[in-house]
Structure 1
Amino acid sequence: MTYSGGPMTEAMYYVLLALVNPNHGYQLMHSISEVSNERIKMGPGTLYGVLSRMEKDGLISLAEVDGRRKTYEITQEGKVALRTEYNRLKSQIADGKMIEEGENENE
């Protein structure tokens, strides 16, 4: 199974951002919090569900297994999907500029 594109969940987006550098579960939860400026606090249940789905979709892969510790890394397909999602989000921000323009007209 491969990723079909389309909008990502916030959890998926931040997992991919955090996996720009390979990480294992506990470290990954900390990295997601760091990358999101403490806005996202992802628990183990959510994280491992997202990791499982993204691994099946080919966006991430296991880089290393050391006992129970699994280190994940972003794949080339994952990098493309992350860049596509980033560009989609930037377009949404650009489209929303009309909100700021409307606020300026009412002053």
Structure 2
Amino acid sequence: MRIRIFLFVMAAIAISACATSKEVYLADGSKGHSISCDGAVQNFGSCLEKAGELCGARGYVVLNQNGEAVPFSTASGGYTASSLAASGGFQAQSGTIITRRIFVKCK
């Protein structure tokens, strides 16, 4: 079970290690990009770097940026209360999910 949790954590770190983008239509009808740089190993600089890759030498304008830290906790076990104490078969995790997103328009 610990190996499964370790692999899950490593996969989450690998996925969160790169900014992702999606082309969107802005309020004025023009095209823009929604760029997500979630996770503890990134920052808004990762989002801005992705914007630079997308827009190139033309440059870009940041229209909006937001981010938040959302606490979470999970528990698993499937045992009764009396068997938990005897077997130690209960697992719990808690932490924070960090989300960051910017909206940019290429010049």
Larger radius of gyration: 2
Quick check: which one's strand share is greater?
2
TM-score w.r.t. length of structure 1: 0.26
TM-score w.r.t. length of structure 2: 0.26
